[in-house]
Structure 1
Amino acid sequence: MTKLPRSGWLPALTILSCAISGTFNASAQTAPVQLPADIERITTTGSRHGADDNDAPVIISAVGQQDINLVSPTHIEEVLKFIAGAQVQRGNGQEYLPALRSQVFSGAGACGGLLTAEDGIPLRAAGFCNINELFEAHSEMAERVEVLKGPGSALYGSNAVHGVINVITPDTTQGGGLFGYDYGSYGYSRVKLRSGYHYGDGGVGLNASVTRDNGYRVAEGLDQEKLNLRHEHAFSSLTLTTGLTYTNLEQETAGYITGTDAYKDAQLAQANENPEAFRNASSLRLWSRAQWQLDGGDTLSVTPYIRDQDMEFLMHFLPGQPTEENSQQGVGVQSLWTHNVSASVTLNAGIDAEHTEGSLLQYQEQPTTGSAFLVATIPAGKHYDYDVNASLIAAFSELVWRNDSWLLSAGLRYEYIHYDYTNNMNSGRLREDGTACGMGGCRYSRPPSSKNSFTNASPKLGATYLYSDTTQFYANYSLGYRAPQATELYRLQRAQQVADLNSEEARNVEFGVKGNYPGLSYTIAAYYMDKDNFIFRDSNFFNVNDGQSRHTGVELELRWQASQRLDIALAATMASHTYRYNQELGGVNINGNDIDTAPNTIADVRIGYNFTPQVRAELELNHVGEYYTDPENLHEYEGHELVNLRSSWQLTPELTLYARVNNLLDTAYAERADFTSFGGDRYFPGRPRNYMLSATYSW
């Protein structure tokens, strides 16, 4: 497989920047044009308040509403691939595994490497992440999706190790609205409604969607409903904004298909080896942001919030197929004070706190089938039953200094998190009734009730040099962290009685260049990250965290208005994600190997053409490079290239029609591929060529 060169980044970065700048300067002298209007200039993720992030010493990428409308995504993967460094491997239905400047996250607690949020409120409490949690955000009808790349722990705390994905919902309080209908292949349909009322000093509004999908594979399908409510009222020096999000998912899940290259067989790809699998999930979030305009241009915002989530699903991928039920209810508050120390120095500071009560139950209704060892060690009945109360408090501050040519920033966050764990069953590796399993004991082990605490500090330094009105260079150093997740501490296996874990830490160095010309914008970034205390399950099935990994890469994002009619958007990544610790697996030392499910190359190109101001077509080419599917690097997936075609036609100022063809060339591919020692090669197959028609009426 192709490896990323370990050196030579700076010359390559400089040459590429000069080539882009020089090429565009030559063309711009004869045909200056403007970028599409939906390219976002104001973001909230990088600073936790609306700000122009163009000169910030970080990369914050955004997918705007115009792109979201044209794609009309059925899954957030369809728009996150527009972001260099991001990858989402879809499972079935709304399930997925994410990656951001990393391998695809998998395994218990791995979701803690990436923080996800809606309107700045984390979707899950620290310590209680779920790998599929982004389906609890209303990305299908978002105003934009923002991605902060690299450690964001200085602002967001635990879990923002590789970055932050923040779904921004539309401000419906300004009036207007839309009604839309999507109809697609395999019985897909979705109704969309957005409406608001503005009454002078404020307004109210809603943003809703109802989805039905019969699915491509046997015995799969889903019903999903999502709702955003918004209220805003402005007083003399205070603006009060309140939001509510409710989501509900009822999904019949199709599991992996097994066998080498099984996804290439049309009958196998449509089959379902686990027709009994399901996932049901509901979530509710309520927040209210009070923002005061203070003397001297200072601002203060305080945002209390509540979360309530429940999920139940069949673990069809495990022997015995147990069912998991998890829930969490919590309250929290975010605060941010912005103070102008002087004309050139700004201080941002705040305190965050939250308390969460979570629970998890895993039980198996039927006896295990399979080998004598599995039958003896995985009994029917309850495997885990525990509650965890978690409390978090954190303080952060950031100083920003700027003049005509430079911006310097320095930030620090200090965070304390405490878990109070109660085991509601017998302790150890026994059956629910207290009897011992044969062949050495039961597979699942429960630690006795206990308390655990973790403290972490996260510094961040950054600098931006404004080389010219159109070009700037930036660099930053940051340290990200995540406390162990509850499932890593209290959901043990085999002979492990206690998981003695520390927080994962990632040290990241990054530099790059940003260009912004009439008709062209681009960012080029290079990063080098070392992660320590990497938490994993070793060959003894113990949760340990003496792992280490290295993540290096170069990214390019570009949008070019080549002419009044033609525009091109590119997001490309070349990266290397490797193990850097000694561990023997199957007689192979994995030190230096590629981390499994980590393509070295990912690219997405969109070529748009406006036939008239009302008619647009866009051709998308998506590339996912080959990757290994096991840590030993003995098995691999060959990668794939997909072509999608979409178009829009604005019939009237109010009515727009859309047409889309996904997988235009009908390519056989896998959304996700992996390898297990007990099951061999297995895949979530991608859908063959499929279609969607949409109509949207706006007012």
Structure 2
Amino acid sequence: MKAFALAPLALAVLSAFASVNAGAADTALGEVTVTATREGQLVSETPATVGVIKEKTLREVKPTHPSEIMGQVAGVWVNVTGGEGHQTAIRQPLTTNPVYLYLEDGVPTRSTGFFNHNALYEVNLPMAGGIEINKGPGSALYGSDAIGGVVNVLTRKPPSKPEIEGSIEGGSYGWARTMVSGGSAFGDHAFRADLNLSHTDGWRDTTAYDRQSGTLRWDSAIGDDATLKTVATFSKIDQQTAGSSAISKSDYDNNPKANYTPISLRKVDAFRLSTAYEKEWGNSLLSITPYYRNDSMDLLANWSLSYDPTIYTTENQSFGAQVKYRHDFEPLRTRVIVGVDLDHSPGSRVENRINTTSIGSGYTKIYTGYTLGARIYDYDVTYQGVSPYVHGEVSPTDKLRITAGLRQDHVTYRFDNRYGTSPIVVGSAYYGQVADGDHTFNHLSPKLGATYAFSESLNGFAAYNHAFRAPSEGQLFRPAVASSAAAADAAAVSASNLKPIKVDSVETGLRGKVNSAVNYEVSVYYMTKTDDILSYRDPVTNITTATNAGKTLHKGIEIGLGVQLAAAWRLDAAVSHAKHTYGDWRVGNVDYTGKEMELAPRTIANTRLTWGDAKTGMAQAEWLHFSSWWSDQANTTKYDGHDLLNLRGAYPLYRDISLFGNVHNVTDRRYAESTGVTSGNATFAPGLPRTFTVGLQAKW
């Protein structure tokens, strides 16, 4: 089944279907998103695929993990790695690589240099005011990071009158969560405060975690033409982790609770503060958003215990600003946006080798304890980014709207290594050291797109985007462990010489409505990545090395569909079919050119049948489908894929008090969140068995 063989047929059928029924549509494509241009814009005039998860959906689903909500957007897969940790796949395989940009109200949650693939656990996602996912390169308005997609989590608006609401819930494996939200308005001001306290004992051995997170938003009107929005958020996470600690096939089948790395841990502190000032007069708007971020993480990584056991602390602060000016002109509905993004983020890494104790041997060895060993990395690194951009829109006709943009990124890392350049030796392990100095990347990113309104109920778009991604501090300055001094020096030179990833993407699509009962969106994309920073894993030593290995190819079709079957019944589906391949992948004597990329199921589907709504009573059945995928780069081992059934519901008990519940994996299916090959053996990270949660929600 070929993605591009399906594309013309799907587009033709939907186009004809919508054209026949266009006259019956009673509403236009009037939904507004804020991610594509950093301010409100009609979806129908956005030449990109933007998935929207509304606040109402978040309130109904009450996700205990981002994976429970993100898959409602076609082509988006977020898995579980432990606690609320995750990997993400948007138009590329499941990965921990820094190829996505995570925002909160349009402000990046971290700087480019200090990317965290678990970014969504640093956001109070279950209490958000919505999520927007801009798939594919973010290009001119977002610059580095925005390759696979831009995920923008929106904070909840303050209420217009005093209110407070809260929920308490419990469930399988010691799950407990309390969420409280409240606010009020007075004069020209309004505020909302949210608090989320969560705990679980973990379903696998030694996988407990606790989190405390909160959001405070304060909105103010300044005169008749200006507003001020201040957002402060924090998250504290303390977790034992084993979600990505894969186990043998025997244990996967018979003892999935097994955890070979019970000593692993992750402690996270994240704080963000931003103030967005907007002033609008006539046809102009000025927006200035200064921000501050403070992040720290202690990590004992489970994935490297067999070949590079370490514990480390990374810290960074950020001082930055987003400045934007927009002006609209009467002729041809012309809009011009100019702006600049500024980011100054000093940070550090302190890392020690650890001495482990264990039982067993080989890839099923269980690590039982550790003591602190020698210091192997100790450095400061400051990321600085200055990125001016321009974005323009024009409508030559009433139905056609053309957009174009250009962004210049100037990125610098200032690196200060306290250890000089001689490798640090610990036993038979050698750790290469990068020399002090500045590492600078400059890149120009263009974009071009168009939308066309065939009718009030049918809209088409096409777009070309070019983007890049600068390496992160860990990729540049923390080279892989080596077995000799010469190899360690070579690894340090190779890491410090990593180049940015470049991406070119083209996509086209249709979106529309039929009557008021059916809405749909179909998009087709083709994306190439050159100088892709790939992780080569030696099949003998299991050592993983990052390298600019060549070109990867990504193509697919995504379909989102919603059908109001009857007054109380609704069917929603999000389906994607894609193929991700190594177009040119050679490292030494290894050549994976033409192989499919690992952890990349060709078909992903999320289908939901809903009865009623949360106010009057709701029941929902959700079916998840993942086709087979390769577990290794050489395409020698394949996972068969899986299907899952989830149930959720809510029932009002009295006035503003309601009962809600969820059942995950109703059939208790054994499935894998991810798979791999270790020392020539297939490994599996098992997914959650049948799990229950139940709770009460009240509002005053």
**TM-score normalized with structure 2 length:** 0.91
Query: SS in structure 2 opposite 1:154?
Result: helix
Structure 1 residues 269-668: aligned runs within 5 Å = 269-294=256-281, 296-318=282-304, 319=306, 320-343=308-331, 344-366=333-355, 380-402=373-395, 403-431=397-425, 438=428, 442-493=429-480, 494=482, 495=487, 496=490, 497-498=492-493, 499-517=496-514, 518-538=516-536, 543-583=546-586, 589-610=591-612, 614-668=616-670
**How far apart, CA to CA, are the structure 2 residues paired with 1:200 and 1:389?**
43
1:91 matches 2:81 = yes
| Aligned partners of 2:420 and 2:436 also within 8 Å | no
Q: CA deviation at 1:6?
A: 5.0
**How far apart, CA to CA, are the structure 1 residues paired with 2:256 and 2:121?**
24
Structure 1 residues 250 and 611, CA gap change in structure 2 (3 angstroms): closer
Q: Which stretch of structure 1 is more off in the superposition, 362-371 or 340-349? A: 362-371
| Aligned partners of 2:27 and 2:456 also within 8 Å | no
**How far apart, CA to CA, are the structure 2 residues paired with 1:597 and 1:658?**
34
**How far apart, CA to CA, are the structure 1 residues paired with 2:152 and 2:372?**
41
Structure 1 residues 528 and 563, CA gap change in structure 2 (3 angstroms): same
**How far apart, CA to CA, are the structure 1 residues paired with 2:159 and 2:387?**
32
Decide which of 94, 100, 103 is 1:117's aligned counterpart. Answer: 103
Please list the CA deviations of residues 424-482 of structure 1 after superposition, one character each: whole Å capped at 9, or x if unmatched: 224243327xxxx55xxx34211121210001111110111110110011100000111
**How far apart, CA to CA, are the structure 1 residues paired with 2:53 and 2:614?**
23
Q: CA deviation at 1:8?
A: 5.9
Structure 1 residues 542 and 192, CA gap change in structure 2 (3 angstroms): closer
Residue 389 of structure 1 aligns with an amino acid whose one-letter code is T
**How far apart, CA to CA, are the structure 1 residues paired with 2:470 and 2:505?**
18
1:179 matches 2:179 = no
| Aligned partners of 2:3 and 2:557 also within 8 Å | no
Which structure 1 segments of 5+ residues have no match? none
Please list the CA deviations of residues 299-354 of structure 1 after superposition, one character each: whole Å capped at 9, or x if unmatched: 11100000000101111221253112111111000122110122410111111101
Residue 623 of structure 2 aligns with an amino acid whose one-letter code is L
| Aligned partners of 1:184 and 1:692 also within 8 Å | yes
1:152 matches 2:138 = yes
Residue 168 of structure 1 aligns with an amino acid whose one-letter code is L
Q: Which stretch of structure 1 is more off in the superposition, 7-16 or 328-337? A: 7-16
Please list the CA deviations of residues 375-414 of structure 1 after superposition, one character each: whole Å capped at 9, or x if unmatched: xxx9941222211011111111111112421111011111
Query: SS in structure 1 opposite 2:581?
Result: strand
Q: CA deviation at 1:153?
A: 2.5
**How far apart, CA to CA, are the structure 1 residues paired with 2:291 and 2:132?**
21
**How far apart, CA to CA, are the structure 2 residues paired with 1:307 and 1:543?**
28
**How far apart, CA to CA, are the structure 1 residues paired with 2:462 and 2:525?**
10
Structure 1 residues 49 and 419, CA gap change in structure 2 (3 angstroms): same
Query: SS in structure 2 opposite 1:389?
Result: strand
Q: CA deviation at 1:542?
A: 5.5
Q: CA deviation at 1:12?
A: 3.7
**How far apart, CA to CA, are the structure 2 residues paired with 1:556 and 1:154?**
26
Q: CA deviation at 1:283?
A: 0.3
**TM-score normalized with structure 1 length:** 0.91
Q: Which residue of 1 aligns with 2:679?
A: 677
**How far apart, CA to CA, are the structure 2 residues paired with 1:474 and 1:653?**
45
Q: Which stretch of structure 1 is more off in the superposition, 488-497 or 296-305? A: 488-497
Residue 674 of structure 2 aligns with an amino acid whose one-letter code is R
Q: CA deviation at 1:68?
A: 1.2
| Aligned partners of 1:40 and 1:64 also within 8 Å | no
Which structure 2 segments of 5+ residues have no match? 366-370
Q: Which residue of 1 aligns with 2:368?
A: none
Please list the CA deviations of residues 571-616 of structure 1 after superposition, one character each: whole Å capped at 9, or x if unmatched: 000000000114268x763111111101100000000112997121
| Aligned partners of 2:217 and 2:230 also within 8 Å | yes
Query: SS in structure 1 opposite 2:120?
Result: helix
